[in-house]
Amino acid sequence: MKDKLKLGIPKGSLQQATINLFSRAGWKINVNGRSYFPEIDDPDIDCAICRAQEMSKHVESGTLDAGLTGRDWIAENQSDVHVVCELVYSKVSSRPARWVLAVAADSPYEKPEDLAGKTIATEMVGFTKRWFAQRGIDVEVEFSWGATEAKVVNRLADAIVEVTETESTIRAHNLRIIHELMQTNTQLIANHEAWKNPEKRTKLEHLALLLKGALRAEKLVGLKMNVPQSRVDGVMALLPSLKAPTVAHLYQSDWLSVETVVSVAEVRDLIPRLLAAGAEGILEYPLNKVL
């Protein structure tokens, strides 16, 4: 019997974003109620739900062959795992998240050294202790069970180390960032023994390839249009492309069919310009994967 790949899916804020990413990559994951073992439409994979904070420990120990978790939690746990690939996605955006050192907006602290002898609240205790110790700054680091931003507001801590993508929660609590400790993104990690297994390694490499392709496709759309041959040069001059646009003659016509891939950020300004340049029948369509 073939040894299945035991894959950890992060529980919590990343769970749905991860399931959506797998769906775009070609794998359907179905979480049934409170079950910690979701179904996946791949006979070579068994899934388990696991907190991102603990994922790297379970992968390192071999309880799981592989899993998705943040670079931050690998660092916090000091886990010895193989990083298969980085996947920049999150519950909010496609930007890497940042762990930052923040203080009250009206506090006198301007840099990490100013916090010597002070108390810092964070969920990432081990990393924070090591970060300050490496810089010779003596601080008291306390674990925060949640609502970390409120610790400074309630004067339970002098500063916090917290993760942020947009800084909106930091600003909402009238806090001020004085230093960035690290950037983090989601990583597909594997146990070293699983990575040495040829079948499991091949499966993980296929996963990585298609997950990265799905993420790349999020930022792109396909465009297809008809262009009279007399105006094709003007249209082509406007078109960016991964390589070069595809051009085909329409049957028994002096019109051309032009197809290309463009950035989502460009398309809203590009389409009116293409119409003005002579393109007609413009079709915009989403992409699942770009490899």
pLDDT digits (tens, 9 = 90+) for 252-267: 999 999 999 999 999 9
Q: How far apart are CA 150 and CA 201, in angstroms?
A: 44
Q: How far apart are CA 72 and CA 75, in angstroms?
A: 5
- Asked if CATH classification 2.60.40.10 holds for the domain at 5-93+186-217, the reply, yes or no, is no
pLDDT of 88 higher than 60: yes
What's the CATH code, domain 220-286?
A: 3.30.70.120
DSSP-derived letter for residue 156 is S
Q: pLDDT tens, 189-224? A: 999 999 999 999 999 999 999 999 999 999 999 999
- Residue 91: which residues within 8 A CB-CB, separation 6 or more? 13, 14, 16, 17
The type of residue at 206 is H
Q: Of 15, 123, 30, 3, give the one whose Cα is nearest residue 67.
A: 15
Q: What is the mean pLDDT of residues 162-184?
A: 93
- pLDDT at residue 25 in the model: 96
Sign of the CA dihedral running 246, 251, 254, 255: negative
User: Do the Cβ atoms of 57 and 162 come closer than 8 Å?
Assistant: no
Homologous superfamily (CATH) for 97-183: Periplasmic binding protein-like II (3.40.190.10)
- The string of pLDDT tens digits covering residues 99-157 is 999 999 999 999 999 999 999 999 999 999 999 999 999 999 999 988 898 999 888 99
Residue recorded with tokens 């917290």: 162
Average model confidence (pLDDT) across the chain? 93
* Identical topology for domains 97-183 and 220-286: no
**Rounded distance, CA 15 to CA 21, Å?**
10
pLDDT band at 279 (very low <50, low <70, confident <90, very high): very high
At 166 the pLDDT is 86
**Alpha-carbon distance 205 to 228, whole Å?**
44
pLDDT tier for residue 94 given thresholds of 50, 70 and 90: low
- Tell me how far apart the 2 most distant CA atoms of the chain are, in Å: 81
Helix and strand numbers, DSSP H then E, in the chain = 10, 16
Count of Cβ atoms closer than 10 Å to residue 289 Cβ: 17
Q: List strands edge to edge, sheet with 186-190.
A: 45-51, 5-11, 66-70, 186-190, 82-87
Question: Please, are residues 77 and 36 in contact by the beta-carbon 8 Å criterion?
Answer: no
Q: How confident is the model at residue 1 (pLDDT cuts 50, 70, 90)?
A: low
Instruction: Please state the pTM of the whole predicted model.
Output: 0.87
Of 21-30, 93-102, 113-122, 230-239, give the lowest mean pLDDT range.
93-102
Could you say which DSSP state residue 117 is in? T
The confidence score (pLDDT) of residue 93 equals 56
Indicate the DSSP class of residue 136. Answer: T
The domain limits of the chain are 5-93+186-217, 97-183, 220-286
- 44 has pLDDT over 60: yes
